[in-house]
Structure 1
Amino acid sequence: MRVQAREFRSQQPVEIVVEDGKIAAINEIESAETLPIVAPGLFDLQINGYGGTWFSDEKLTVEKCLEALRAHYQYGITHLFPTLITNSYEALENGFAIIRQACEKEAWANRMVLGCHLEGPYIATEDGPRGAHPLDQVRACDWDEVQRLQAASGNRIRLLTLAPESPGAPEFITNCVNNGIAISIGHTAANTEQIGAAVAAGATLSTHLGNGAHGTLRRHPNYIWDQLGEPKLTASIISDGHHLPASVVRSFYFAKGKDGIVLTCDASGLAGCEPGVHDYHGAKFEVLESGKVVIAGQSQFLAGSGVQTDVCIATMVEMTGCSLADAWDMATINPARISHVECAKLAVGKPADFVLFEHDSANAKLHVLQTIADGEVVFGSF
């Protein structure tokens, strides 16, 4: 396979030669044609499902899991962490076991799934910080439970979101970190001391900072400032245009710098669904015409996102003025570093996982033309 495009950092026209699923050469070329941009496949560490399928659903099947995973190729996503949110132990165990079976069944799925993200159930009980997570399934930190879930996943849990005020959090965090599970602070109402203790124990990330929070906070101190001002914490943000105002995104970006931000779409299981009201676990959620996913009956309280990482990149560039290359790093290199995995890279000798696209900067959109994974065209055509 030979692909001609403009390299996403330099904008230099190049020809990428693919052999045996790997990048064999990247050669600069002269071209008078208008070529698309080429960049490494995206990696999102927080995706809850797609098309009505939730990875944390006790009714998840291998077929539904594979269908939900494959759908992400159309958005330039070649790697992700299926994310399971607060639920009963039985539902979580089933979700992780099904993901393991899906990865064992299909080699492409095993390559796409770099790990799993457990978001909860060790989070705040308060309305606001708890977000859309079910109150009756929130519980104290339980290392034994995580070990059993890890076994069900085939050792795929690589990231866990918790609230530092959850009983037993510091010791629990240390156990996780010592066993290869990165810890993120999220869905929390923790005070300054509790956040400091979590960082001292090994927490390194903030989950969708600025969301999963009270509608009104004291001006200072508060748990957003405490995390934003902590240099040991990288901040993941949902830059989809709905979750955070542009001024907040800019403030987070300028505070943390390009290396301290991780972009995630936090796509819910309703991403890709038609607008309307949908039932899940006895609760009603609504996909609005704008693409927002909310708790049904109002338009303010969100329940995950309805768009994917490509939208977050384009919106990040528009909101902050950062370069396309820097935004791309926030959705590849940065999340891979924080979760200790290897994502796609546009380099000789690396797996051929890349995406061809056009960047419509005037309208803050990316148009994915083609996605290549492991040297195979998995979306689009030449």
Structure 2
Amino acid sequence: MNHLVDLQVNGYGGVDFNADELSVDDLHRACDMMRRDGVDAMLATVITDDVPVMVRKLARIVEMRERDELIASVIAGLHVEGPFISPVDGYRGAHPSEAVKPATVDEAKRLFDAADGLLRIFTLAPEHDADAALTRWLADRSVIVSAGHTDAPAEALDRSIDAGLSMVTHLGNGCPTELPRHDNIIQRLLSRAERLLFGFIGDGIHVPGFALRNYLAVAGYERCFVVSDASAPAGMGPGRYGLGRLVLDVADDLTVRLPGTGQLAGSAMPLRQAAGLLQESVGLRPEVVDWMTKTHPRLLITPQSK
């Protein structure tokens, strides 16, 4: 066993965790495949949709976890990504534009309650959280608040960090392919590295190896971790698959994109394979890879570590 811990998993083995028709058997099969692929624990990730739909999806995963021992063992908690993210093309990524909205505590409380004590990470855009009210509310309840799919200006970042924002979701992604040379969201976040933790998608596609080395040099690997951002096709190979409202195309190199757009939409690469690339292609020492794929993410979702 590899004892990997993955903090962002949207689906696996042909199973979409955001699908309306998700069954206990489906989720059991996905968890079994993840376990066989070296992942001991993960955060099932529910992405942007209408809030009542997200509530239903969260509650369903919680209920399935209570019914199945393997699901309970593998799903260590929940990660909510959206719907309080940037509506701007590029920053929004593959999230459906019609469901994106400004943050409110009242709606977030519905998501928090549906997670029934299992909410570990909540990804939002600080510029759409007025006065950092939601960030403060979540942090007060020991939920890790993470900046993602955002173009937050400096003042919004600082306000949110002061309120409890402590993490960045998949740095280098969830933003346009072309950015201003100097004043851009990646530079703004890295300039606050001493106050933040950084997640990266480790498949070598979302962030090229040379860029990841640069990011780690600035942030310090001890403040970083790696996720798969796996979607339903992970572990299945090339083809066409579903993720919530989305249809996904997987190429031979395991690149996952929205059909006809070129927009990346999660990853089809198992975390174990990504961990191998971190050593082989990025040149990281085995103990650094272990920290970012096993030890650090496990500490982040262990309640007594907060």
| TM-score over 0.5 for the pair | yes
After superposition, what is the alpha-carbon deviation per residue over 1:225-267, rounded to whole angstroms, capped at 9, x for unaligned?
A: 1111211111100120111111111101111222111100100
Equivalent residue number for residue 144 of structure 2: 182
1:271 maps onto 2:234 in alignment = yes
Letter in 2 for 1:122: F
- Determine which of 182, 202, 219 is the counterpart of 1:256: 219
Residues 315-326 of structure 1 correspond to what in structure 2 (within 5 A)?
Answer: 315-326=277-288
Instruction: Say whether residues 1:87 and 2:65 are aligned partners.
Output: no
2:250 counterpart residue number: 287
Percent identity between the two aligned chains: 30
Higher strand share: 1
Unmatched tracts of structure 2, length 5 or more:
none
The answer to whether residue 114 in structure 2 is matched with residue 148 in structure 1 is no
Computing the radius of gyration over CA atoms, which structure comes out larger, 1 or 2?
A: 1
Q: Distance in 1 between matches of 2:80 and 2:28?
A: 19
Q: Secondary structure at the match of 1:235?
A: strand
Among 71, 75, 81, the residue aligned to 1:109: 71
> Is the helix fraction higher in 1 or 2?
2
Over 3 Å counting, the alpha-carbon distance change for 1:200 and 1:330 in structure 2 is: same
Residues 232, 242 of structure 2: 8 Å contact kept? no
Aligned ranges for residues 1-382 of structure 1 at < 5 Å?
41-168=3-130, 170-230=132-192, 231-280=194-243, 283-297=246-260, 300-341=262-303
State whether residues 123 and 146 of structure 2, in contact with CA within 8 Å, keep that contact through their aligned partners in structure 1: yes
Q: Distance in 1 between matches of 2:107 and 2:23?
A: 22
Q: Deviations over 1:116-168 (max 9, x none)?
A: 00001100000101000000000111222222223222211111000011142
What is the CA–CA distance in structure 1 between the aligned matches of 2:155 and 2:284, rounded to whole Å? 33
Deviation at 1:283, TM superposition (A): 4.0
> Alpha-carbon deviation of 1:191?
1.1
AA aligned opposite 2:277: T
Q: Specify whether residues 313 and 139 from structure 1 end up closer, same or farther in structure 2 by C-alpha distance, changes over 3 A only.
A: same
Task: Give 1:268's aligned amino acid.
Answer: S
Q: Structure 2-normalised TM-score?
A: 0.93
Q: Which runs of 5+ in 1 are unaligned?
A: 1-37, 344-382
Give TM-score, length-normalised by structure 1: 0.75
